[in-house]
């Protein structure tokens, strides 16, 4: 199943948090997904580096888009791990992800997160994750835990 770059961009624009960060899918192919996030002042931590949560967001979304290319558009991140290797500074955060292995229901993907600035591209983090296909059939999704209903003891969960 082939999904176009335009379709991937529409999916990203439908995520309010991605819109807040100014994220953009700039490459979407079988071999590579590339996501850009502009490095803005409000995305930095107290030392002037890009906040680790923003780097993690970029890796997570790039991994999921890579897995989605292999598995189809209905996917979620099952798990991922990230190693921060140096602070991210510059103008643009770049997350490049690819599929390491894809089965019928899950894909293992890898992602490099780089910062682009005066010195060119600099590796900032490396991530790996498992992306799982989901089904929208009735009963196929796990039950959602509700926190506004009392449990058996009468306490609100």
For the record, the structure tokens of 10 come out as 């529409």
Task: Return the domain boundaries, the chain.
Answer: 5-133
Would you call 54 helix, strand, or coil by DSSP? helix
Q: What is the pLDDT of residues 11-50, one digit of tens each?
A: 999 999 999 999 999 999 999 999 999 999 999 999 999 9
Q: What is the pLDDT of residue 138?
A: 53
Q: Which fold has domain 5-133?
A: Thiol Ester Dehydrase; Chain A (3.10.129)
pTM equals: 0.84
Q: What is the pLDDT of residues 70-114, one digit of tens each?
A: 999 899 999 999 999 999 999 999 999 999 999 999 999 999 999
Straight-line distance from the first to the last Cα atom of the chain, in angstroms, rounded to the nearest whole number: 41
Q: What is the pLDDT of residues 128-143, one digit of tens each?
A: 999 999 976 554 444 3
107: which strand partners? 102, 131
């Amino acid at each position: 199943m082939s999904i176009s770059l335009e379709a991937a961009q529409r999916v990203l624009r439908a995520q309010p948090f991605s819109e807040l960060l100014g994220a953009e899918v700039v490459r979407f192919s079988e071999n590579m997904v590339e996501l850009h996030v502009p490095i803005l002042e409000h995305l930095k931590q107290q030392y002037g580096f890009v906040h680790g949560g923003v780097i993690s967001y970029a890796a997570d979304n790039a991994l999921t888009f890579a897995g989605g290319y292999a598995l189809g558009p209905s996917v979620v991140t099952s798990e991922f791990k990230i190693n921060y290797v140096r602070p991210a500074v510059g103008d643009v955060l770049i997350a490049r992800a690819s599929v390491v292995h894809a089965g019928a229901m899950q894909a293992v993907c890898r992602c490099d997160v780089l910062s682009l600035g005066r010195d060119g591209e600099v590796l900032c983090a490396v991530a790996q994750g498992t992306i799982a296909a989901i089904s929208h059939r009735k009963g196929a999704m796990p039950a959602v835990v509700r926190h506004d209903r009392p449990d058996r003891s009468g306490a609100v969960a």
